[in-house]
Structure 1
């Protein structure tokens, strides 16, 4: 089902002062849930993400990355150092339900749009702020960039095999989780506001978000005498899990194996060498030996051959798809996960939809990303008529 009815956040006004990925991704999710989101940008270039290219692709003069994160929004341009523009911005804030910003610590205070200032103008405002490492401490002035945060957080040491250097994720995971955590905090404060009538101040940092993502393995580390995780030397996928956990090359592709009995796996694959490891404790202590046996054995036949043996026995396994194979699969088509957006100039972009379903309905929006200041005149007339 597509969206035909009332979205949960319809009637709410969100001001997005953020740049790059983390803050704008939070504003995007609120827009998908029905809020009206107005992006506030500098007149001279706007959000720096407009020129942040993840490929050579661009759309209507801006990067496709910008379009993917800033669809379903309006844009006003304002020089936050200009007193007249600040009057306009104050009028907007006084009418807003949510404000999001991710300036470096100290910048927003100098502009005069920090929470303690704006809550006097609008006590019902829910104010969301993302920093790189928090507002205090020796790292507070560092640039809040995803790769740098992954590196400082220890995350990169979990990836790759034991003989490899630290391996970062191929995605901006710190940014995306920080944006998701900010949305959680904002929604919680909006629920509280419905009871108390008062807004709130939500703070999220990239570092805290990516530490939270690691809560399972960090908890193990902190309660195991400070022992560091040991990456497998063979097909590592989780430093704390024993064999067979990992991805293995087959005769024509790859096979992912999750948790499961090594003895049962040996029986299902007709691999007699594995049946010797009958004690579950050995699945970790002899992890690399078991994985080496599996690596050699699985290469002798195709992925589909192995899956046909494992899936009927409910052994957890999966093919390893690239995007071409995924997007052509019936399982992907069944999700109806893509949509096309169109901006004011008619430029079209195929992208993903909101992954949330409300009352069984999918949340689509055909509205593309705005040009810098595209809606300034219209919105200024709304909040400062005449």
Structure 2
């Protein structure tokens, strides 16, 4: 039995942040019901990466909405709203990622829903919370990265701001929402009461940067100082970074510089080793010059037996064909309505050794109305 089996989750969400939370709960066995507008459904159905579609929906939609049901309803139609409120009576969890005030206008805010179902766990995602000048701004990932300072951590010293190459705010916030919901479910098992869980994209990005923001706050307000070349962490000493070899790239993590100097035959960096941060650029330049003289495989053959922390920098082709990746059994196939197989990743969580997979694609709009009305309404 999956750990969240028999848990009913209503998902009033679109795009990435809320649906990623619903995906994880569906992975773990919850019955997740997407509440969507009739006809077009949620906006994420047309949100495509590299314009990849499978059927009427984007490949991204299928991956982030796997194993869910769809109930279509016009939330401004009184008769449809009655049906939605009946679903709320039966639900354990409700999540939404509308802007602040939208659900309240629909009479589906936390207080409205708590009157319908006092045991309901009500989770909401916003861009910037409900207070302050930013609350009405669009909660879009790149904008959040830019506002929060995250773009000044990647790239090298003289580079412009560099955004993270993933929708990290959306995914982190969805993860935080699931954490809050699971905590509230445990509390409900003791008190019998529901709860309001509030998360926002900006807070999640601040939490994501907790180590570097804490450093900034306790370092006389100094700004992040990216390495001149090969930067991998704006606050860590040499040799931490990425270096070119004669045929690729090598990542070097934390290491005793005196030990590394001996392995690389670089005695000139030993006098600088006492303060690897102040002399970071000079040390990294010397290491870069040495590593560029031979292949990645050559350096791995020296460093790995010596337990020097390093790794080859791989692209997706190299990574997904590597025996290490294959041994982790991280992929699954989703079967679309036309029989097409869509490859994606699986839930990363194991419980008692069990791997959670789902072959069910994202649902068509309203595909489960009849079933849900027969069983829950």
Same fold (TM over 0.5): yes
Q: Is the 8 A contact 1:189 1:199 kept in 2?
A: yes
Match of 1:353 among 346, 352, 371: 346
1:222 to 202, 213, 217: 217
Matches within 5 A, 1:1-386: 6-279=1-274, 281=275, 283-384=276-377
* Separation in 2, partners of 1:234, 1:290: 11
Deviation (angstroms), 1:345: 4.1
Given that 1:13 and 1:98 are in contact with CA atoms closer than 8 Å, whether structure 2 keeps it comes out as: yes
Aligned length in residues = 377
SS in 1 for 2:19: helix
Describe the shift of the 1:55–1:76 C-alpha distance in structure 2 as closer, same or farther (beyond 3 A).
Answer: same
* Partner Cα distance (1:310, 1:243) in 2: 16
Q: Which consecutive unaligned segments of at least 5 residues does structure 2 have?
A: none
Q: Tell me, in whole angstroms, the C-alpha distance in 2 between the residues paired with 1:183 and 1:95.
A: 20
Assess if the C-alpha contact under 8 Å between 1:269 and 1:306 holds in 2: no
Gaps of 5+ in 1: 1-5
Instruction: Provide the rounded CA distance (Å) in 2 between the counterparts of 1:303 and 1:266.
Output: 18
SS at match of 1:339: strand
Q: Give 1:297 deviation, angstroms.
A: 1.2
- Measure the CA separation in 2 of the matches of 1:99 and 1:346: 32
310-319 or 336-345: bigger deviation: 336-345
* Structure 2 residue matching 1:233: 3-state secondary structure: coil
Give the SS at the match of 2:212.
Answer: helix
Q: Offset at 1:45?
A: 1.2
Q: Deviations over 1:312-368 (max 9, x none)?
A: 111110011111011111111111000001134434211100000000111111111
**8 Å contact kept, 1:343–1:370:** no
Q: Any conservation in 2 of the 1:348–1:368 contact (CA below 8 Å)?
A: no
Over residues 51-99 of structure 1, what are the superposed CA-to-partner deviations in whole Å (9 max), with x where a residue is unaligned?
1111121001111111110011010111100011111111111100011
Query: Distance between the aligned counterparts of 1:269 and 1:142, measured in 2?
Result: 51
Deviation at 1:46, TM superposition (A): 0.9
TM-score, length-scaled by structure 1: 0.96
Which portions of structure 1, spanning 4 or more consecutive aligned residues, are displaced by more than 4 angstroms?
Answer: none
TM-score, structure 2 as length reference: 0.98
- In the TM superposition, what is the alpha-carbon distance from 1:122 to its structure 2 partner? 0.5
Q: Distance in 2 between matches of 1:343 and 1:18?
A: 22
Find the residue that maps to 2:169 and give its secondary structure.
helix
Q: How far apart are residue 271 of structure 1 and its match?
A: 2.6
| CA deviation after TM superposition for structure 1 residue 150, in Å | 0.3
CA-based RMSD of the aligned residues comes to 1.0
Deviations 1:84-128 (A, max 9, x none): 111111111110001110001111111111101001100111011
Q: Distance in 2 between matches of 1:349 and 1:374?
A: 20
* SS at 1:312 equivalent: coil
Q: Deviations over 1:233-285 (max 9, x none)?
A: 11111111111000001011100000111121111122333333342x2x111
